[in-house]
Structure 1
Amino acid sequence: MPTSESNASERRVYGGRSAAERGDERRRRLVDAALELFGTKGFSATSIEQLCSAANVSTRSFYEDIGSREKLLIALVEDLTSKATQSALDALAETQGEAMPVRMSRAFRAYLAVTCRDRRSARVCYVEVVGVSQVVEEWRKGWRERIAAVVVYEADSAVERGEAKSREYRLFAVAVIGAVNSLAQELALADESAEAAVTLDDICDEITHLAVAGLTV
């Protein structure tokens, strides 16, 4: 006769996967669905039911695994920006000893190559995430602080190398982040069929010029 312990074990493991593994898979499908729907229809125009249908999960699982559309949006943008930040840090590590403009250009390009890898990700990271709710704005504030710390560190390192003037760089970092956001919005909302369409190269060049000027003037 099965024991309560064996029944609990069966509930935990199904199809060779634990409950935690199945939950992780559902969350991954929901994040993928969010990228597609938030990145094409928009956050406000996407319902929980549409997300669940696209991800092939129940609404009950949605609330258990995610909790709300806002939390799903944060999970998606956190995933993209974390990968982008790591890519930028890798680019900086690979360009140790290079001139500051080279390092800046590589780092910005590495970051934006992830967040702007297609129109969906660019729209999610730079358009749909803005002004959603207080919860999302608190997340964005934390994200800005983390990115600003990286920019300040690189600016201070440039000072030590004699490539930048010695001064307080916190507001500079905030300005750079604002420029990245604004220019990336231009890319996300640009008409791809236009003759003078904005490109990733365009915004990387502009941000690099701005950053280098702010460090040296």
Structure 2
Amino acid sequence: MSGRNPAPRRSYGGRSAEERRAERRGRLLAAGLELFGTRGYTATSIERLCATASVSTRNFYEEFTGREELLTTLHRTVNDRAARAFATAYTEAAKADLPTRVHNAVHAFVSVTATDPRWARIAFVEVGPTLDRYSQWENAIRTLIQDAVTRNEAPPRDYTLTVIAITGALTALIHHWSTQNQTIPTDQITTELTTLIVKALTPTP
């Protein structure tokens, strides 16, 4: 039995349905970044998101189950980018001393999360109930500390509380910058965090 040839997918304006859908999704992500990153998650309705993105409510629900999934997508995007930048910078400075490795990694983290106040707010302020903004950074700091111990730059001991303290400082400083004082130079944030981390790992004479 011969089958029918599938009907060709329609294109409008030279764009396929997939391309148009990807474009709509991109506009929704951009609208989420702008509105969640300025007005805030609780102050932003789906209707406002759709109006800003110039899409219908039906189109919205084709891409996301609700506002929280959109926020989660943006949150993971910025934190994944920051984590990759942190890890890459630390690895590239593998032959350097501890302060240099830490500085480069922290600078990469700050450059991603604190360059745009909207991304900083989404990463560390507008966090939904199912999001964990700490675990990823706890793992990164724990890896950094273990490397320092292996190199005999830090003494072997239980660093559980140190990891929590450093992670808290890391996120709190970016939170403060994004919500209270964006006039603080990001290089100053990098320096403060680098000093804090190195002092926490370096034995007191």
* TM tier relative to shorter chain: 0.7 to 0.9
Q: Find the aligned partners of 1:52 and 1:202 in 2 and give their Cα distance.
A: 38
SS at match of 1:97: coil
Unpaired runs of 5+ residues, structure 2, are none
Deviation at 1:190, TM superposition (A): 2.7
Q: Which residue of 2 aligns with 1:27?
A: 25
Q: State yes or no: 1:181 paired with 2:180.
A: no
Q: Which residue of 1 aligns with 2:70?
A: 72
Deviation at 1:212, TM superposition (A): 0.9
Deviation at 1:68, TM superposition (A): 0.9
Question: Could you say if the C-alpha distance between residues 146 and 64 of structure 1 is closer, same or farther in structure 2, counting changes exceeding 3 Å?
Answer: same
1:157 maps to which of 147, 150, 159: 147
Unpaired runs of 5+ residues, structure 1, are none
Q: How does 1:129-144 map to 2 (within 5 A)?
A: 129=127, 132-133=128-129, 135=130, 139-140=131-132, 143-144=133-134
Q: Output the TM-score relative to the length of structure 1.
A: 0.83
Deviation at 1:214, TM superposition (A): 1.4
- The number of residue pairs the alignment matches comes to 200
Q: Which residue of 1 aligns with 2:157?
A: 167
Q: State yes or no: 1:198 paired with 2:179.
A: no
Superimposed CA distance per residue, residues 40-98 of structure 1 (whole angstroms, 9 cap, x where no aligned partner): 11111111111111112211111121111111111011111111111111111211111
Residue type of the alignment partner of 1:180: L
Residue type of the alignment partner of 1:6: P
Q: Find the aligned partners of 1:191 and 1:161 in 2 and give their Cα distance.
A: 37
CA contact (8 A) 1:144 1:177 kept: yes
Q: Which residue of 2 aligns with 1:38?
A: 36
Deviation at 1:165, TM superposition (A): 1.1
Q: Output the TM-score relative to the length of structure 2.
A: 0.88
The structure in which a higher percent of residues are helix is 1
